A and B are shown apart, each in its own frame.
Chain A
Amino acid sequence: MKRLEALLVHVALVAACAFAVYPLLWVVTLALSPHGPGTEARILPLATAPSLGNFRAVLGIGTAEGVWLFLGQLANSLVVSLATALVAILVATPAAYALARFRFVGARSGLRALLATQMFPAVASAVPLYLLLDALHLLDSRTGLVLVYASTAVPFAIFQLRGAFLAIPVDIEEAAMVDGATRARAFWLVVLPAARPALAVTALFAFMSAWNEFILAATLLSRKSAYTLPVVIQSYVQEQSTAWGPFAAGAILVSAPVMALFYLAQRQLVSGLTQGGVKG
């Protein structure tokens, strides 16, 4: 009975994996095809004459600027996304902790207002954000882009982390405070380590939101060397024609670091699991 159950779980997960991977295999097929998708509908996503030409094109191998431009743009993407994650965590963690643990005047209405901001379609604030960065002389800079991305990452991080702090039993920090630690020390030494998995996941979310964004990046950045990778990839889409091969190859190149990052974050998750994390 137990074994049948385990088998069923594996079957379900394999089916889910197939669903998850199937469309991606089409992206891989496009990336490996030197020409278009062909005229026949196929079930198996296999490139008929696979070549790495599209990847070479995206990486800039054989062009005047060469691969260095791509590496520079990769560095831009990394710096901007890491900074966004860092800012989100730094700004959101104490606020989320206070919202989870303290009762204070304005907490409820503040939280409500924060949720309300998420209900506004982002399109509405693009122009005002541009004006704001202009006033701060931060247009066309990575710092400016980080600020813009933080505007979506911080509210989300506050919600996410507040939920995580609420789930951590109050006893553990009270125990630390009984032992003579200040509230701040208890927060730093007891609560934060217990919330590590949630911090990792939140940072990952913030990183991802910045990593894949291109419209704002393309609007705010005005130097090729300052572009982030999604901007570069998006340039394969034109009004009347799209270069599917390089577009797909670029998407795969862009997502490779994210997969690596998830692999690392997963170990955080696992450690949270195996440690038993926070026992009541």
Chain B
Amino acid sequence: MARALVLAWAFALLLLAAPASADEAIVLWHSYRGGEERALEELARAYEKEHPGLTIDVLAVPFEAYASKLEAAIPRAHGPDLFIQAHQWIGPYLDEHLVAPIGDALPDEDVAAFDAASVRAVTWEGVRYAVPLANKSLALYVNDALLPETPPSIEALAALAGSLPKGVYPLAYRATNSYYHAPFLHAFGGRLLDERGSFAFFGGEAAASLVFARDLMRRGAVPLEPSGALAKELFAEGRAAAAIDGPWLAPELGERASVHYRVEPLPPAVTGGPPMQPLLTVEAAFVSPSGASRREVRALARWLGGREAGVVRALVGQQVVARADVWLDPRLAGEERLRAFAVAASRAVPMPATVSMQAAWEPANQAIQKVLNADADPELALAEAKRRFDDATRPLPPPASPLPLMLLFGLGLAALAVVAVRKSLDGGFRAEVKRSLPAYGYVTHAVVVVLLLVVFPLAAGALTSLFAGTRDDPRYVGLANYLAILTARGGPLLAHGSFYLTLAVTVLWTVANVTLHVAIGVSLGVLLSGALGRMRAVYRVVLILPWAVPSYVTALAWKGMFHRQLGAVNALLKLVDAPPVSWFSHFATAFAANVATNVWLGFPFMMVVTLGALTSIPKDVLEAAEVDGATRWQRFRLVTLPLLGPVLLPAVVLGSVWTFNMFNVVFLVSGGEPDGTTDILVSEAYRWAFTRDKQYGYAAAYAVLIFLLLAMVSRAFGQRRPTNSEELA
């Protein structure tokens, strides 16, 4: 007992131990890894040495969580003083008051030393908001052995298809991604957004750029289903003569001795035509509103962008430093590739920093994908993309008066009060409550925990569905969000991405998954409970493995298995002479890929629950049935299954609810492809919140609708089958 107490104490101490950092420390957040992270750490230590008494807390945040962490932390004063982020976030961050003018960290006398485009990129309405650190833009990686001389244009490069060794593509790049398509678009005179921030990716120029890209693919100059990984692998193994990619590819190639390559700015698309200008992203040091008021924070930002730090960032971090004078430093004499990237960046078009940029990627990608898959005519696909963008960024609904809702709320409260008073006057009810008292002793703490941690946060989340606009400046709009969703935003009710169509997909998704989960899980559980001898332990551990490895890794492994060219599934199909399948180009196959992944992830759960439930089935009942001459199947159907039912029911109900809301698998495996058709309701809600113009209220309305739907279904289910599920539903 004493030992247990000591352990408990040690445990509690471990939980509470949270060493406070020094008050005066400068907190610096970034989402770098590898060389860039090392360079930043090294610089922070060097700066601390130069400034005794000052500490810099450098924190690497995973990219996936970075943007939302900044948004959550800065407004509540838990954020960094200084953070590194791409310049195109200025627009969104200004809306949410996450950044402040950089002030004397980038004074006029420093401006000349920086790349002019970089300074323009961090300037918004005449005010500078960050110190430019690194320029990232696409350039051409050229294999030295395959292409001693760089062809004068992409067209000329593609024409080499016949003369290169067999199996070598002239060019590899992520053709279906609009960031990678942008240089082609610019070369044909188009652009993604106009100066006012509206969608401009349509019309003749844009269509011409898509036709050009589609021809590259049709002629076999560019591989099909060109993911980033495929482009990298092809180039690294000498199976692509050139690749269009950013500076982030170089560190991954650097470890491989097999490929000798050079980097050059992008050539024109057609010989003699205008150059292909990639989009420019300027990674810059921003100050948060609290950090901006501290002189030492601004001084650090200025120093990080300075010449000396720039040399370290270039040498250690292999960064394309956004300062012209750094490239004059003799220590950088051998960095030919970095220099080429710097030249490429100087010709690039800064990415628009408006909020609408975030909303443009999805429709643009979908249009490109459709055209390259030859599913649609370019003009039509682009017109549709424009409609989708306009729909996602349409003006907020008008403010509504909160009076009706408050009245309703008040009436509800009053009704509740009346019921409570009447019940308390009812003697029978009072006696019942009295009899219930011992039970309340068992449940009180659970009620408190669930109310505080589950119900209140959800209720608060649900309330946001009545608002629109940014978090800082919410506007009460009543039920406008719900109305918009339920009327499919004024379009046809079964249009692409409408609530009803997505709901149908979600229902199909849930039914398919839960059926397979239960069928496979229960079968395996029952098989495992039979006499298996020594192998039982082995089976049990192996079958649980899918559940033991984090799903965010295994889901991506499944996505890889379904890749057209690299995937193992197509390799298996080849064994039986089946043609390769482009899994994510058709709804049925993409949906099947999602289901396969989720079934694989979920069956161990049902299996373990079944195993646990089987332990509670009295053995003598089964033995009695066997004595009575029941066959194995009869015993299973007539004894085991009815007894398993009630124990499995909560797991099945919860499993259905979770599958309905299973966002991860859809997001990681198909990502909604093709054309957003495999998205389920939750991933739709997620897109509204995070990729389409940050419409949190709209996303919350989706969440509430999902909730209402599930609640209604479970009620109906409970009424239909009162014996088993009455208490659950």
Interface of A with B (CB < 8 Å)? Answer: 5-6, 9-10, 12-13, 16-17, 19-24, 26-27, 30, 34-43, 45, 64, 75, 79, 82-83, 91-92, 94-95, 97-99, 102-108, 110-132, 134, 139-143, 146-148, 150-151, 154-156, 158-160, 162-164, 166-168, 183, 197-198, 201, 204-205, 208, 212, 214-215, 218-219, 222-226, 230-231, 233-244, 247-248, 250-252, 254-255, 258-259, 262-263, 266, 269, 272-273, 276-280
Chain B's nearest CB lies how many Å from the CB of A209? 11
Residues of A within 8 A of B560 (CB): 26, 37
* Partner of B62 from A20, A21, A234 at Cβ < 8 Å: A234
CA–CA, A95 to B454, complex, Å?
16
* Complex contact B615–A143 (CB within 8 A): no
Assembled-state Cα–Cα distance A162/B654 (Å): 13
Q: How would residues 603 to 614 of chain B score, 1 for a CB under 8 Å from any chain A CB and 0 otherwise? A: 011001101111
Could you say which residues of chain B place their CB within 8 Å of the CB of A64?
41
For chain B, residues 525 to 576, give those with C-beta under 8 angstroms from any C-beta of chain A: 527-532, 535, 537, 539-554, 556-558, 560-561, 563, 565-568, 570-572, 574-575
Residues in B neighbouring A155, C-beta threshold 8 A: 450, 454
Within 8 A of A (CB), among B659-682: 660-661, 663, 682
Asked whether, in the complex, the Cβ of B60 is within 8 Å of the Cβ of A235, the reply is yes
In the complex, are the beta carbons of B616 and A255 less than 8 A apart? no
Partner of B14 from A19, A79, A119 at Cβ < 8 Å: A79
A262 with B541: CB separation less than 8 A = yes
Across the interface, which residues of B come within 8 angstroms of A9, CB to CB?
527, 530, 532
Whether A24 touches B33, Cβ cut-off 8 Å, given contacts A124-B462, A125-B460, is no
Is the beta-carbon distance between A272 and B59 smaller than 8 angstroms? no
* B548 & A262 in contact (Cβ 8 Å cutoff): yes
Tell me, in angstroms, the Cα distance from A166 to B537 when the chains sit together.
28
Whether A234 contacts B65 by the Cβ 8 Å rule is yes
Contacts known (A35-B236, A79-B15); A259 close to B686, Cβ less than 8 A: no
In Å, the complex CA distance between A266 and B460 comes to: 40
- The answer to whether A208 touches B547 (Cβ under 8 A) is yes
Residues of B within 8 A of A218 (CB): 61-62, 64-65, 69
Report the minimum CB–CB distance from A157 to chain B (whole Å).
9
Give the docked Cα–Cα distance between A92 and B462 (Å): 25
User: How far, in angstroms, from A19 to B554 measured CA to CA in the complex?
Assistant: 13
B461 A114 Cβ-Cβ under 8 A:
no
Say yes or no: B570 contacts A39, CB within 8 Å: no
CB distance from B17 to the nearest CB of A (A): 8
- B600 beta carbon closer than 8 Å to chain A: yes
The listed residue with most A CB atoms (<10 A of its CB), out of B239, B452, B618, B649, is B618
B568: chain A residues at CB < 8 Å are 22, 26, 41-43, 45
| Any A CB within 8 A of the CB of B438 | yes
B647 touches A166 (CB 8 A): yes
Cβ–Cβ contact B682 & A17, under 8 A: no
Nearest CB on B from A239, distance (A): 5
Which residue of chain A has its CB nearest to the CB of B607? A16
Q: Is the CB of B457 within 8 A of A118?
A: no
B233 with A39: CB separation less than 8 A? yes
B63 within 8 Å of A by Cβ?
A: yes
- Given A151-B453, A277-B616, check contact A38 B237 (CB 8 Å): yes
In chain B, positions 209-250 with a C-beta closer than 8 Å to chain A are: 228-230, 232-234, 236-237, 239, 246, 248-249
A-B contact pairs, 21 of them (CB 8 A): A13-B528, A23-B561, A24-B546, A27-B557, A37-B560, A97-B442, A106-B436, A118-B658, A122-B661, A124-B703, A125-B454, A134-B76, A143-B16, A151-B454, A167-B616, A205-B605, A218-B69, A222-B78, A241-B248, A251-B554, A277-B615
Contact residue among A43, A113, A127 (Cβ-Cβ distance under 8 Å from B571): A43
